[in-house]
Amino acid sequence: MGQFGIGQAVTRFEDPRLVRGQGRFLGDVNLPGQAHAVVVRSMHAHARLRAVDTAGARRAPGVLAVFTGADVARDGLGTMRMTLKRKRPDGSPMFAPPHRGLTPDRVRYVGDPVALVVAETLAQAEDAAELVRPDYEPLPSVTSTADAVGGAPVWDECPDNVSNVFESGDRAATEAAFARAPRVVRRRYVITRVHAQYMEARGALGVYEPGEDRYTLYADVQYPHRVRNA
């Protein structure tokens, strides 16, 4: 077994500072003039977003601003696009819809951001977020991967719900191995979504430094250089 083989003990180096209370996370960073933002998210897996009433939230104590998908579109902030390049079953480019910071007209998963509340304190932002009133028209949704193909389209531009296909290995050799096997056991496994994420919640704190005309971003990211170059 190699030095980094499966089953090898891995020495931990991060524990001393954490057990001494010296860990530094995003919530530990507090800067002068800092504001706090809370995202209002969809409770529906799929719905048409007919309107977002933000009047009550805007009147709440300490609120500095409330933004919706309409504001993002009006200000021309653009979208975030997938950088992965794969193919659909027919060989055409994968379907990779643009991701907006706040959705303007339709939510496509539970937790889809519909509004952003900015306030002087975190408690004020959380209280005001409770006053945002999205108006939803629920649409048919797909809640399992087995039902996705042929189910209700999440995106009208991708009616079969197949973004891309990834295959690895030799299909012919695999089929031949099963054909030669004296006994074949078949089982069906259902695996939930697996996603690597940090222990602390996602977040970011940006500071503009007018003297140097640049921004400093405090964030839990995996690719700091890629984020810097964005």
Segments making up each domain of the chain, as ranges:
28-84+95-155
Q: What is the mean pLDDT of each run of 10 residues along the chain (230 residues)?
A: 70 88 86 94 97 98 97 89 87 90 94 97 97 97 85 92 90 95 93 73 86 89 81
Overall fold of domain 28-84+95-155: Aldehyde Oxidoreductase; domain 3 (3.90.1170)
User: How far is it, in rounded angstroms, from Cα 31 to Cα 218?
Assistant: 11
User: How far is it, in rounded angstroms, from Cα 162 to Cα 71?
Assistant: 31
User: How far is it, in rounded angstroms, from Cα 120 to Cα 64?
Assistant: 7
- Model confidence over 55-82: pLDDT tens digits? 999 999 999 999 999 999 999 888 888 8
pTM, full prediction: 0.81
Q: What is the pLDDT at residue 53?
A: 98
R_g (Cα) of the chain, nearest Å: 23
User: How far is it, in rounded angstroms, from Cα 218 to Cα 118?
Assistant: 18
